[in-house]
Chain A
Amino acid sequence: MTDLLFAMAVGILFAIGVFQLLRRDLIKAAMGFSMLFTAINLFILATGAYQGDVPPYTTNVEAGRAVSDPLVQALILTAVVVSFGSYALLLGLINIASRRYGSVDSDDISDLKR
Chain B
Amino acid sequence: MELAFIVAVPFLMALLIAITPLNRLITKDGRAWFAAIVMAALFLALLGYFPYIQAIDHEGQALSFISEWVPELGLSLSWYLDGLSLMFSLIVTGIGAAIFLYAGYYFDDEAEQSRFMMWLSAFAGAMLGLVLSGNLITLFIMWELTSVTSFMLIGFKGQKSAEARFGAQQAFMVTGGGALALILGFVILGAASGQMLGQAPVYELSEILKLHLHEHPYYTAFAVLIMIGAFSKSAQFPFHFWLPGAMEAPTPASAYLHSATMVKAGIYLLARLYPPMHEGALWSQALVFIGLTTMLLGAFFALTKRDLKGLLAYSTVSKLGAIVALIGLPEYEGLKAAFIGILAHALYKAALFLVAGTIDHNTGTRIIDKLGGLRKYMPAMTVVAIVSALSMAGLFPLFGFVAKELLIESFIETHIVGATVALAVVVLASTFTVTAGLIVIWDVFFKPPTEHIHYHQSSPILTAAPGLLALGTATFGILISIILYPLLDAAIPKEFKLYLIAPDFYNLLAFWLSTGAIAAGTVLFLLRRWWLPVFNLGFIPSGRQAFTGFINLIDWIGIQATRVQSGYVRYYLVTILGVVAFVVLSSGQLNDMARGDQLDLANVVIEGPTILRAALLILTIAAAFLATRARRHITAALALGVMGYAVAGIFLMEHAPDVALVNLLVETLTSVLIILMLGRLSERQRKQVMARLWQGRSMVGNINMGIFRDILIAAAVGISVFVFALTALVNRPEPADIAQGNFCVLDGVFIPRETDGVRSSIARYYLCNSYEEVGSEDVVGAIVSDYRGMDTLIEITVFSVAALGVLTLLSRGIQSSGRPFVPDERKVPDQGEYAQDVLEEIRTPENLNTPFTRMVSRIVLPAGFLLALTHIINGSHAPGDGFTAGAIAGLVTAVWFVIFGYDEARQRLGAFSPTRLLRVGLILVSINILMPILLDPANGALVGYVNYGKLLHIDGFLASFGLKLTSTLLFEIGVAMTVFGGFSVIMEYTAHPQSAAQVEDLDDTSTHTSLPEVEG
- A contact set with B: CB distance below 8 Å: 1-28, 31, 34-35, 38-39, 41-43, 45-59, 61, 64-74, 76-82, 84-89, 91-96, 98-107, 109-114
Flag whether B1003 is at the interface (Cβ < 8 A). Answer: yes
> Are the CB atoms of A81 and B887 closer together than 8 Å?
yes
Q: How far is B842's CA from A43's CA once the two chains are assembled, in angstroms?
A: 34
Flag whether B762 is at the interface (Cβ < 8 A). Answer: yes
A-side contacts of B340, CB under 8 Å? none
Q: Give min CB distance, A99 to chain B, whole Å.
A: 6
**Which residues of chain B from 555 to 575 have a CB within 8 Å of any chain A CB?**
562, 565-570, 572-574
Contact among A15, A21, A73 for B780, CB-based, below 8 A? A73
A-side contacts of B887, CB under 8 Å? 81
> Are the CB atoms of A45 and B651 closer together than 8 Å?
yes
Flag whether B662 is at the interface (Cβ < 8 A). Answer: yes
Flag whether B763 is at the interface (Cβ < 8 A). Answer: yes
Q: How far is B729's CA from A92's CA once the two chains are assembled, in angstroms?
A: 36
Q: A99-B1012, A102-B1003 are in contact. Are A88 and B654 (CB under 8 A)?
A: no
Q: Give min CB distance, A71 to chain B, whole Å.
A: 4
B-side contacts of A88, CB under 8 Å? 673, 802-803, 806, 986, 990
> Are the CB atoms of A57 and B779 closer together than 8 Å?
yes
Contact among B654, B666, B763, B998 for A49, CB-based, below 8 A? B763
Contact among A73, A98, A114 for B999, CB-based, below 8 A? A98
Q: A18-B713, A45-B650, A47-B728 are in contact. Are A85 and B567 (CB under 8 A)?
A: no
Q: A31-B636, A98-B682 are in contact. Are A77 and B662 (CB under 8 A)?
A: yes
Q: A12-B621, A22-B714, A95-B680 are in contact. Are A7 and B674 (CB under 8 A)?
A: no
Considering only CB atoms, which chain A residue lies closest to B661 in the complex? A77
Q: How far is B743's CA from A47's CA once the two chains are assembled, in angstroms?
A: 20
Contact among A24, A53, A73 for B693, CB-based, below 8 A? A24
> Are the CB atoms of B725 and A7 closer together than 8 Å?
yes
> Are the CB atoms of A68 and B655 closer together than 8 Å?
yes
Contact among B663, B761, B806 for A92, CB-based, below 8 A? B806
Q: A16-B628, A96-B809 are in contact. Are A57 and B1008 (CB under 8 A)?
A: no
Q: How far is B661's CA from A73's CA once the two chains are assembled, in angstroms?
A: 12
A-side contacts of B719, CB under 8 Å? 11, 15
> Are the CB atoms of B613 and A3 closer together than 8 Å?
no
Considering only CB atoms, which chain B residue lies closest to A78 in the complex? B795
Q: Give min CB distance, A8 to chain B, whole Å.
A: 6
Q: A61-B744, A95-B810 are in contact. Are A103 and B777 (CB under 8 A)?
A: no
**Which residues of chain B from 729 to 759 have a CB within 8 Å of any chain A CB?**
729-730, 732, 735, 738-741, 743-744
Q: How far is B143's CA from A47's CA once the two chains are assembled, in angstroms?
A: 46
> Are the CB atoms of B802 and A82 closer together than 8 Å?
yes
> Are the CB atoms of A98 and B655 closer together than 8 Å?
no
> Are the CB atoms of A82 and B628 closer together than 8 Å?
no
A-side contacts of B1007, CB under 8 Å? 100, 102
Q: Give min CB distance, B884 to chain A, whole Å.
A: 9
Flag whether B601 is at the interface (Cβ < 8 A). Answer: yes
**Which residues of chain B from 624 to 644 have a CB within 8 Å of any chain A CB?**
624-625, 627-628, 633, 636-637, 640, 643-644
Q: Give min CB distance, A49 to chain B, whole Å.
A: 4
Considering only CB atoms, which chain B residue lies closest to A83 in the complex? B666
Flag whether B768 is at the interface (Cβ < 8 A). Answer: yes
Contact among B680, B795, B1008 for A81, CB-based, below 8 A? B795
Considering only CB atoms, which chain A residue lies closest to B801 in the complex? A85
A-side contacts of B1002, CB under 8 Å? 99, 102
> Are the CB atoms of B604 and A1 closer together than 8 Å?
yes
Q: How far is B640's CA from A35's CA once the two chains are assembled, in angstroms?
A: 8
> Are the CB atoms of B693 and A93 closer together than 8 Å?
no
Q: How far is B569's CA from A41's CA once the two chains are assembled, in angstroms?
A: 26
> Are the CB atoms of B798 and A85 closer together than 8 Å?
yes
B-side contacts of A85, CB under 8 Å? 798-799, 801-803, 982, 986
Q: A1-B604, A96-B812, A102-B685 are in contact. Are A18 and B714 (CB under 8 A)?
A: yes
Q: How far is B214's CA from A24's CA once the two chains are assembled, in angstroms?
A: 63
B-side contacts of A19, CB under 8 Å? 628, 710-711, 713-714
B-side contacts of A18, CB under 8 Å? 577, 713-714, 717-718
Contact among B613, B693, B1012 for A25, CB-based, below 8 A? B693
Please list 27 pairs of residues, one from A and one from B, whose beta carbons are closer than 8 Å in the complex, sorted by A's number.
A3-B730, A5-B610, A12-B722, A20-B628, A22-B573, A22-B713, A25-B693, A38-B624, A48-B654, A49-B763, A54-B655, A61-B744, A65-B739, A74-B783, A80-B662, A80-B666, A81-B796, A88-B673, A88-B986, A92-B810, A92-B990, A93-B809, A98-B681, A102-B1007, A105-B689, A110-B569, A112-B568
A-side contacts of B735, CB under 8 Å? 49-50
Q: How far is B697's CA from A24's CA once the two chains are assembled, in angstroms?
A: 11
Q: Give min CB distance, A16 to chain B, whole Å.
A: 5
Number of A-B contacts (CB under 8 A): 357
Q: Given A45-B654, A80-B883, A112-B568, list of 14 further CB < 8 A pairs?
A: A26-B689, A42-B620, A56-B655, A58-B767, A58-B777, A61-B743, A67-B655, A77-B658, A81-B666, A81-B796, A88-B803, A94-B677, A105-B692, A110-B567
A-side contacts of B881, CB under 8 Å? 77
> Are the CB atoms of A24 and B779 closer together than 8 Å?
no
> Are the CB atoms of A51 and B654 closer together than 8 Å?
yes
B-side contacts of A10, CB under 8 Å? 721-722, 725
B residues contacting the other copy or chain, number (CB 8 A): 141
> Are the CB atoms of B693 and A47 closer together than 8 Å?
no
A-side contacts of B813, CB under 8 Å? 99
**Which residues of chain B from 603 to 621 have a CB within 8 Å of any chain A CB?**
604-606, 610, 613-614, 617, 620-621
Considering only CB atoms, which chain A residue lies closest to B737 in the complex? A66
> Are the CB atoms of B803 and A64 closer together than 8 Å?
no
Q: Give min CB distance, B999 to chain A, whole Å.
A: 7
Flag whether B726 is at the interface (Cβ < 8 A). Answer: yes
> Are the CB atoms of B806 and A89 closer together than 8 Å?
yes
Q: How far is B200's CA from A3's CA once the two chains are assembled, in angstroms?
A: 49
> Are the CB atoms of B656 and A35 closer together than 8 Å?
no
Q: How far is B812's CA from A42's CA once the two chains are assembled, in angstroms?
A: 36
Q: How far is B723's CA from A11's CA once the two chains are assembled, in angstroms?
A: 8
Q: How far is B654's CA from A86's CA once the two chains are assembled, in angstroms?
A: 26
B-side contacts of A14, CB under 8 Å? 717-718, 721-722
> Are the CB atoms of A106 and B681 closer together than 8 Å?
no
B-side contacts of A28, CB under 8 Å? 627-628, 633, 636, 693
Flag whether B457 is at the interface (Cβ < 8 A). Answer: no
> Are the CB atoms of A82 and B613 closer together than 8 Å?
no
B-side contacts of A13, CB under 8 Å? 620-621, 624
Contact among A7, A41, A55 for B722, CB-based, below 8 A? A7
> Are the CB atoms of A89 and B620 closer together than 8 Å?
no
Q: Give min CB distance, A46 to chain B, whole Å.
A: 6
Q: Give min CB distance, A30 to chain B, whole Å.
A: 8
Flag the segment in B169-177, B784-792, B819-827 that touches A. B784-792
Flag whether B659 is at the interface (Cβ < 8 A). Answer: yes
Q: How far is B998's CA from A42's CA once the two chains are assembled, in angstroms?
A: 40
Q: A6-B725, A80-B659 are in contact. Are A56 and B779 (CB under 8 A)?
A: yes
Closest CB pairs A-B (n = 4): A15-B718, A102-B1006, A11-B722, A113-B567
A-side contacts of B627, CB under 8 Å? 20, 28, 31, 35
Interface centre among A20, A25, A71 (most CB of B within 10 A): A71
Q: Give min CB distance, B913 to chain A, whole Å.
A: 19
A-side contacts of B344, CB under 8 Å? none
A-side contacts of B809, CB under 8 Å? 89, 92-93, 95-96
B-side contacts of A24, CB under 8 Å? 570, 689, 692-693, 696
Flag whether B1010 is at the interface (Cβ < 8 A). Answer: yes
Q: Give min CB distance, B79 to chain A, whole Å.
A: 40
Interface centre among B713, B721, B792, B883 (most CB of A within 10 A): B721
Considering only CB atoms, which chain B residue lies closest to A43 in the complex? B725
Interface centre among B565, B685, B771, B990 (most CB of A within 10 A): B685
